[in-house]
Amino acid sequence: MYDSAHAVTLAEIYAARRRIAGRVTRTPLVRSGALSRRFGAEILLKWETCQPTGAFKLRGATNMISALLEERGRDSLAAGVVTASTGNHGRAVALAASRLGIPAVVCLSRLVPEHKAAAIAEFGAEVVRVGESQDEAFGEVERRVAERGMTLIPPFDDPLIVAGQGSIGLELMEDAPDLDRVIVGLSGGGLLGGIGAAVKAIRPATRVTGVSLSRGAAMAESLTAGHPVAVEEVESLADSLGGGIGLDNRCTFALVSQVMDDHYRVSESAIAAAMVDILAHEKRLVEGAAAVGLAALAEHGLDVRGRKVALILSGNAVSLETLDRARAMIGR
């Protein structure tokens, strides 16, 4: 039986990669000429937008559902899997469950954009709207687990989820073994925790930098407080970074505390500029949460001159209306 209250090891991350092989994409790490010239550094872009779901979340969801099937057997998941999401995790659970022949329900708060709800439904999951925050949506998840015997696939706070996301860190270390810094969006901590666990185990000198929203950043506020706290969820161009970390957080809070070297918050205008810059120079559309690494470099003037730096472009679930809003914010 997997215990969600333990640290994620490098061995578990390697096991996750073996488990998800052939079911997720090994994404490219590509040097950006424009950004490298701009910052006087070697800026590498990790394109998780190349996943079939358009975001990194497929790694963790596939790992957890596959591991549960291996450990418990198919009958144990007959009632289906259930989760709460701000969009990308729900899409990942929907696709992973569909591929493995498991029913799935995804609970969303009313803050989650409609285009993300539609994208989840496309993969065959039942979408349930409830509440004004991810925490409220999670209440419906808990009810379905208790009353219907469904199996929870949490968005971030489980070693199996974290280990799946950590496979990104293995790819980074293989493709750029002398990497000086990796900059990762920080929300629930599954992505940063997984990448950080892999990177620090292989190359401790690599700096792990987290980036959060200027408002409504639950993990950032929790780290400052020294324990998990609740924050008010707010609308943002980087809506995937919203939501709480759970007052009973058992995995990611401690892990992020251990592996993250420094942390920055970014404004909505900086996120907007980064989204537009990536589209202009790289010719690819990314969501706000994927652009926060570039936003931090620009807004905080991080000195990366002469360094090799990777930015995790975590997903592309953004509507054209949101892109237009970003452009309007910066007058482009």
State the pairing for strand pair 104-108/126-129. Answer: parallel
**Interatomic CA distance for residues 164 and 159, integer angstroms:** 8
Whole-number CA gyration radius for the chain: 18
Give me the active site residues, please: 57, 314
Q: Any idea which residue has 């161009």 for tokens?
A: 237
Burial of 191 (0-12, 13-18, 19+ CB in 10 A): buried
**Beta strands 42-47 and 308-313: pairing type?**
parallel
Helix (H) or strand (E) holding 49: none
Is the dihedral angle over the CA atoms 253, 153, 167, 309 positive or is it negative?
negative
* CA 101/CA 77 separation, integer angstroms: 10
Burial class (CB in 10 A: 0-12, 13-18, 19+), 189: buried
